Structure 1
Amino acid sequence: MSVFIQFVFLGLTLGAVYSVFATSLVGVYAATGIVNFAQGSVALWAAYTVAALRTDGTLVLPFGGSLRFGDVTSPMPMVLAVVVGVLSAGLLALLAHLLVFRPLRSAPPLANVAASVGLMLFLQALVVLRFDTDALFAQPVLPFKTFTLGNVVVNASDLIMGGTAVLVALLLWAYFRLTTTGVATRAASEDELAARLVGFSPDRLAAVVWVVTAMASGLIVVLGAYTIGLDPTSYTYYVVPALAVALVGRLTSFGVACAAGLLMGAFQAVLLWANTLEWWPSWAQAGLGDAIPFVVVVIALFVLGGKIPARGALTQVAMPEVRIPRLRPLPVAGVVGLAALAIALTSDSWRFGIVTSLILSLIALSLVLLTGYLGQISLASMAFAGTAGFTLSKATTEWHVPFPISIVLSAGLATLLGVGVGIPALRIRGAQLAVVTLAAAFAIQSFVFNNPSFTPYSGNLIGTPNLFGLDLSVRRGTDLITLRFSMLVLVVVTTTTLVVMRWMAGSTGRSFLAVRSNERAAASVGINVAATKLLGFALSAFLSGVAGCLIGYSRGQLSAASFSVVAGLSLLAIAYCGGITSVGGALVAGFIGPLGVFYVFLNQTLDLGQYYQVISAGGLLLMAVTNPVGAAGANAEMLRRLRRRRSEHSSTSARTPTVAPAKGLTSKVETHV
């Protein structure tokens, strides 16, 4: 029992990070209505800033150069370094509010999700580029002291971390409940217009919350980095369990979010202890702790989803406009012919990039179907693709299922998983559904893809596809990717895309659009809303599953890195900015997506492959701010304006009286003609 209690105390440090992230998320949501997926990335910057200052006194700037304080032998004092690091987090949050989220205050919820995800990826990539992450380590900030409680040895640093988390929650609660500006912030969250009428600016109130919560998150990471460790990925994705415990508090209660965060950290620490027990099953020794947040999210949203408040807005925000796809033979033949010509004329890396773009466009198309047409925000597309890919490995190497039945079987399993993940959509929607699907993606990646009991670390081999004796293998001799396999991908992607376009233009697409527009109105005309939502998740997961199988065949051997959550997040953001309601947007997303044509161009032609994530995420942020409804919505608006001007010009011309020319002039003109 003493060991159990000791691990509970050891989990306080990680639980404190969850707790402060969660209470910060509650504060930002109360002030802006935004679920800030970038909360951990901002704190990560603060942690690396302090590590660099404590190593050699260098203040790394986000862009440009850096500032040196002292020399290598005289790093910045600890207290001053912590202050500078925490202030840097506040400054980044302020810039994010002013440059990204304030312009999007009247944008669709999906625009804020895309911008938040883009900011998360941008800051994480910026940390990797600007800091020497392999050489920097966190140094201790809290004292090295222990004391004994009964038979349990407790670290003073763990208690300080837990106490700091409680203090942050109390201060945020006091600010929102007891101060004039805090009460005004809560009021503005319910009625912006009323807040403006009494002299408060919702934007300024929100800016205060952005800065305070970012500084609190940066501080708790700086304090706990020595115990937890410092790397450029972990803290970025700690936002997932933080969102889980924030939703337990209905995104309104600082106290519940704080307590749930501490309990989450303690529970995960206890699971680590349980892994050392002889009776603990081997399949539960990896990733189980990361899967717990998904369970917490689903339970919290299913129980409390209807009670989570929505922020008041001045206007009713609509989703991007949908243009029903038309199957026009000549344009379709032109696009397919151009793709075939590009495949035939290229080789090695360029051909691989083209094929990868085709496959990614299929995953993006699954998002167009689910998010653009049905209005359900999903961040788990890569998890569905990975499920099919790893199933394909079993099907081709152990079960000896022939091609193409192996693809259908593997994509079918991904479809079942998609339906399971989509069940929460029967009760929740919007950014909350994005949280569920993101938690599901991390749970699947950690508990399945990174679990050696299911997917060995040595890799998962994929059998060679053969059709009627025709060898369709991806490699032959020195060819990185064969022409036969490339054409196979083109045929599969083209056929699948045409079928989806037919669905979109038919009764299925109309049902999806009706549910997206107004669920109650759709139900009143006889549409089964629940069945339609589950059908959308099933079709989307099936498309992702087919793409996952093609990824498996193109790699020949799979690992968890082939289906990272980061790639899925990038693809959704790119698909939204390219046009989440159009097939063209899916093609754009495939072109820009990871390891696609754009990446090959940066890497092979410009030698800028290491900057891909910064460039792509920065472009996403720019597109999200300048075109909140995506490129498809912007194009539709431009076409409406052109039609309006044309109609106005026509009506003006019709009202302009005609003046008869003089008789002599008329006769001269007629004679000349």
Structure 2
Amino acid sequence: MSEFLQFVFLGLSVGAVYSVFATSLVGVYAATGIINFAQGSIALWAVYTVAALRTDGTLVLPIGDVSLGSVASPTAMLPAVLLGVATAAAWALIAHLVVFRPLRRAPALANVAASVGLMLFLQALVSLRFNTESLAALPILPEGTITVAGAVVNVSDLLMAGTAIAVGALLWAYFGLTTRGVATRAASEDELAARLSGYAPDRLAATVWTISGAASGLIVVLGAYTIGLDPVSYAYYVVPAMAVALVGRLASFAVASVSGLVLGSFQAVLLWANTLDWWPAWAQAGLGDAMPFVVVVVALFLLGGKIPSRGSLGELKMPAVTVPRIRPIPTIAVVAAAALAILLTADSWRFGIVTSMILSLIALSLVLLTGYLGQISLASIAFAGTAGFALSKLTVNWGVPFPFSIVLSALVATALGVVVGVPALRIRGAQLAVVTLAAAFAIQNFVFNNPALTPYEGHQISEPTLLGMNLSVRRGTELTTVAFSMTVLVVVTVMTLLVMRLMAGATGRAFLAVRSNERAAASVGINVAATKLLGFALSAFLAGVGGCLIGYSRGQLSAASFTVVVGLTMLAIAYCGGITSVSGALIAGFIGPLGVFYVFLNQTLDLGQYYQVIAAGGLLLMAITNPIGAAGANAELANKLKTRVRTARLARVAENGTTSLEMSSVKVGTHVG
């Protein structure tokens, strides 16, 4: 029993981070209606700022740095902590002023894309600006221990839990007991009423963003010595934090605060259970990381009808959809250009072209599900990875030949897509994004990173052959063969044309009807639940085919092939490229990870290490300045040009008609005269 209690208390430090992140998310949502996926990345900057100050006295800035000490005389603990917390508050305020305030009337998907873009941008910037491999967190809280019911408990863990509860209590008091807090809630519902009452909604929201950033930075700085320091984990602690925030219905600070602590302790107890003889081998890794998904699903099914729906897709317009039409000449021209590019390139450039084609297919799965059906999903890369790992089993263990191996593997991903899509029957908008992100993490950590299911050396994939032809990606010193590249081109072209035909048909119209108004769609006989599940199934199948092509292009797969970061990047890129159009998917493929744009940065400009920060920064800029995406902007520009041409033509016709009428009148007058 004492050992059990000891792990319960050991989980309080991580649980405290979940707790503060969750209450911060609740506060920001109450103030603005935004679920901030970048909450963890904001805190990540703070913890590395403190680590650098306490190592050599350097205050690292986004550009440049300021020396406040040296290795022999680093910055003292208190000033370092204050500066670190201040940087987190500053980043949160900047996020509000620069990113989210301009998007307050944009579609919910624009806010999700911008939030994901900010998350990736800050994470990449931390890795570039700080020496993450050499910095270490130094202790801030007391390192003593006490004994509770026979369990040895760290004082720092108890202080972390107390800090988390205090933060939750302070946020509750601010929103419930102060005039500004009550006005903040009111302003998020009705800005005009708040302005008429003498309050500035932007200032009220800015206050909450600053407080939430400071609180998140503080708890991470305090716990870094116990939890550890790396540039990835803290950024993604926002996932379990979102889970417990949803348990509190995105409204209760108390429930979110306590639930975060409970979840942290429960995950620690699962680690203890791994040491027990009766614990199954398949559950010894990643099970704790899967818990947020379970928590989210349970919470949403129990409380789905009671969770506030601000920011959902049903309340804000989505980008306009252009129904695709298959035009033979442009289609042939695009395919011919891709084939010519394959033939004229080699090595890294050809590999980049092939990767871009594959990524465009995965982006197309997002266009189908999010752009056409209105369901925000962050799990596309998890579906792709599931199919990729299934491909390994089918080709190596059971000898299933190409292309049947792709079809069967994609069907496995389809089944998983339906399971992940079940929560969409009750929720939508940014809350659905939380569910799918939690699902992606569960799949990544419980399946892809589980040694019992995925060996560390990766999964081998047998080379594809068709009618005796070798279609393998490599042959001798050739990095990417023409045969494999053309195979990818054929598969991607066929799948894209099928999706375009589907979008233009009855299924596409049903998707658009559900996206526009679910009740109206149901009133005309559309089965909304079946349509949503069909959308998830088709999207997962497309992503699964893309995952199989990635598998064949690598020859073997590991967990690193399908990280959540790649999935988040793909959604943000697909949205900014144009989430409602096939051309948007092509743009997303072009600038996606390891695609043509990456090869250009790496090979031509030697800036490959800056890819993520450049891509994320560009995505943020696009999301802010052009919320409907590049393809949507091009379509609007084309429509405006067509309208101007049509108006000018009608004006000329009218002018010519008037002139002709005047000339006829003159002729008639002359004849009569």
TM-score category (smaller protein): over 0.9
Counterparts of residues 224-263 of structure 1 (less than 5 Å): 224-263=223-262
The DSSP-based 3-state class of the residue aligned with 1:126 is helix
d(CA) in 1 for partners of 2:178, 2:338: 61
Q: Where does residue 85 of structure 1 map in the other structure?
A: 84
* Contact in 2 for aligned 1:45/1:127 (Cα 8 Å): yes
Q: Give the drift of 1:633.
A: 2.7
* Contact in 2 for aligned 1:191/1:312 (Cα 8 Å): no
The DSSP-based 3-state class of the residue aligned with 2:35 is coil
Q: Where does residue 607 of structure 1 map in the other structure?
A: 606
Q: Give the drift of 1:199.
A: 1.4
Q: Which residue identity lines up with residue 32 of structure 1 in the other structure?
A: T
The DSSP-based 3-state class of the residue aligned with 1:37 is coil
* Contact in 1 for aligned 2:378/2:436 (Cα 8 Å): yes
Q: Give the drift of 1:660.
A: 9.8
* Contact in 2 for aligned 1:347/1:481 (Cα 8 Å): yes
The DSSP-based 3-state class of the residue aligned with 2:153 is strand
Whether 1:283 and 2:282 are equivalent positions in the alignment is: yes
* Contact in 2 for aligned 1:472/1:485 (Cα 8 Å): yes
d(CA) in 1 for partners of 2:142, 2:227: 15
Counterparts of residues 258-269 of structure 1 (less than 5 Å): 258-269=257-268
Q: Where does residue 168 of structure 1 map in the other structure?
A: 167
Counterparts of residues 153-552 of structure 1 (less than 5 Å): 153-311=152-310, 317-552=316-551
Q: Give the drift of 1:56.
A: 0.3
Q: Where does residue 105 of structure 2 map in the other structure?
A: 106
The DSSP-based 3-state class of the residue aligned with 2:139 is coil
d(CA) in 2 for partners of 1:464, 1:636: 41
Q: Which residue identity lines up with residue 59 of structure 2 in the other structure?
A: L
* Contact in 2 for aligned 1:367/1:381 (Cα 8 Å): yes
d(CA) in 1 for partners of 2:17, 2:302: 25
d(CA) in 1 for partners of 2:160, 2:108: 34
The DSSP-based 3-state class of the residue aligned with 1:67 is strand
d(CA) in 1 for partners of 2:24, 2:128: 27
Seen in structure 2, the aligned counterparts of structure 1 residues 164 and 347 have a Cα distance that, compared at 3 Å, is same
The DSSP-based 3-state class of the residue aligned with 1:527 is coil
* Contact in 1 for aligned 2:363/2:585 (Cα 8 Å): yes
The DSSP-based 3-state class of the residue aligned with 1:309 is coil
d(CA) in 1 for partners of 2:199, 2:300: 32
Whether 1:60 and 2:60 are equivalent positions in the alignment is: yes
Q: Give the drift of 1:304.
A: 1.2
Q: Where does residue 126 of structure 1 map in the other structure?
A: 125
Q: Which residue identity lines up with residue 606 of structure 2 in the other structure?
A: D
Aligned pairs, number: 663
The DSSP-based 3-state class of the residue aligned with 2:147 is strand
Q: Give the drift of 1:71.
A: 2.0
TM-score, length-scaled by structure 2: 0.96
Q: Which residue identity lines up with residue 56 of structure 1 in the other structure?
A: D
Note the alpha carbon deviations across 1:567-618, whole angstroms, 9 max, x for none: 0100110000000011000000000000000000101111000000000000
Q: Give the drift of 1:662.
A: 13
d(CA) in 2 for partners of 1:312, 1:444: 27
Q: Where does residue 564 of structure 2 map in the other structure?
A: 565
d(CA) in 1 for partners of 2:458, 2:148: 46
* Contact in 1 for aligned 2:311/2:430 (Cα 8 Å): no
The DSSP-based 3-state class of the residue aligned with 2:317 is coil
d(CA) in 2 for partners of 1:650, 1:661: 18
d(CA) in 1 for partners of 2:272, 2:125: 35
Seen in structure 2, the aligned counterparts of structure 1 residues 198 and 340 have a Cα distance that, compared at 3 Å, is same
Note the alpha carbon deviations across 1:503-562, whole angstroms, 9 max, x for none: 011111111111111111111111111111111000000000001000000000100000
Q: Which residue identity lines up with residue 372 of structure 2 in the other structure?
A: Y
* Contact in 1 for aligned 2:176/2:182 (Cα 8 Å): yes
My pick for the range that moved more, 571-580 or 147-156, is 147-156
Q: Where does residue 69 of structure 1 map in the other structure?
A: 68
d(CA) in 2 for partners of 1:59, 1:202: 33
d(CA) in 2 for partners of 1:555, 1:575: 23
Whether 1:137 and 2:136 are equivalent positions in the alignment is: yes
Note the alpha carbon deviations across 1:115-172, whole angstroms, 9 max, x for none: 0000000000000000000000000000111112231211110110000000000000
Q: Give the drift of 1:638.
A: 2.5
Q: Give the drift of 1:302.
A: 1.5
d(CA) in 2 for partners of 1:418, 1:549: 16
Q: Where does residue 671 of structure 2 map in the other structure?
A: none
Q: Give the drift of 1:642.
A: 3.3
Q: Where does residue 19 of structure 2 map in the other structure?
A: 19
Listed as ranges, the gaps of 5+ residues in structure 1 are 667-673
d(CA) in 2 for partners of 1:331, 1:619: 28
d(CA) in 2 for partners of 1:503, 1:492: 16
Note the alpha carbon deviations across 1:1-32, whole angstroms, 9 max, x for none: 01101111111101000000000000000001
Q: Which residue identity lines up with residue 51 of structure 1 in the other structure?
A: A
* Contact in 2 for aligned 1:189/1:311 (Cα 8 Å): no
Q: Where does residue 669 of structure 2 map in the other structure?
A: none
* Contact in 1 for aligned 2:385/2:562 (Cα 8 Å): yes
Q: Where does residue 10 of structure 1 map in the other structure?
A: 10
Q: Where does residue 35 of structure 1 map in the other structure?
A: 35
d(CA) in 1 for partners of 2:661, 2:529: 69
The DSSP-based 3-state class of the residue aligned with 1:135 is coil
Note the alpha carbon deviations across 1:33-77, whole angstroms, 9 max, x for none: 1110000000000000000000000000012x1100122210000
Q: Give the drift of 1:637.
A: 2.9
* Contact in 2 for aligned 1:321/1:632 (Cα 8 Å): no
d(CA) in 2 for partners of 1:566, 1:150: 42
The DSSP-based 3-state class of the residue aligned with 2:152 is strand
Q: Which residue identity lines up with residue 265 of structure 1 in the other structure?
A: G
Query: RMSD over aligned Cα, in angstroms?
Result: 1.8
d(CA) in 1 for partners of 2:266, 2:249: 21
Q: Which residue identity lines up with residue 30 of structure 1 in the other structure?
A: A
Note the alpha carbon deviations across 1:465-498, whole angstroms, 9 max, x for none: 1111111111111011111011000000001100
Listed as ranges, the gaps of 5+ residues in structure 2 are 667-673
* Contact in 1 for aligned 2:34/2:311 (Cα 8 Å): no
* Contact in 1 for aligned 2:242/2:434 (Cα 8 Å): yes
d(CA) in 1 for partners of 2:49, 2:342: 45
* Contact in 1 for aligned 2:108/2:311 (Cα 8 Å): no
Q: Which residue identity lines up with residue 252 of structure 1 in the other structure?
A: A
d(CA) in 2 for partners of 1:642, 1:463: 51
Seen in structure 2, the aligned counterparts of structure 1 residues 637 and 460 have a Cα distance that, compared at 3 Å, is same
Q: Which residue identity lines up with residue 85 of structure 2 in the other structure?
A: V
d(CA) in 2 for partners of 1:445, 1:99: 32
d(CA) in 1 for partners of 2:274, 2:177: 45
Seen in structure 2, the aligned counterparts of structure 1 residues 311 and 405 have a Cα distance that, compared at 3 Å, is closer
Whether 1:47 and 2:47 are equivalent positions in the alignment is: yes
Q: Give the drift of 1:654.
A: 6.3
The DSSP-based 3-state class of the residue aligned with 2:198 is coil
d(CA) in 2 for partners of 1:270, 1:364: 39
My pick for the range that moved more, 653-662 or 365-374, is 653-662
Q: Give the drift of 1:634.
A: 2.1
Q: Which residue identity lines up with residue 13 of structure 1 in the other structure?
A: S
* Contact in 2 for aligned 1:22/1:243 (Cα 8 Å): yes
Note the alpha carbon deviations across 1:610-639, whole angstroms, 9 max, x for none: 000000000000000001121233233333
Note the alpha carbon deviations across 1:364-412, whole angstroms, 9 max, x for none: 0000000000000000000000000000000011011111111111000
Question: % of aligned pairs identical?
Answer: 75
d(CA) in 2 for partners of 1:163, 1:660: 88
Q: Which residue identity lines up with residue 33 of structure 1 in the other structure?
A: G
The DSSP-based 3-state class of the residue aligned with 1:400 is coil
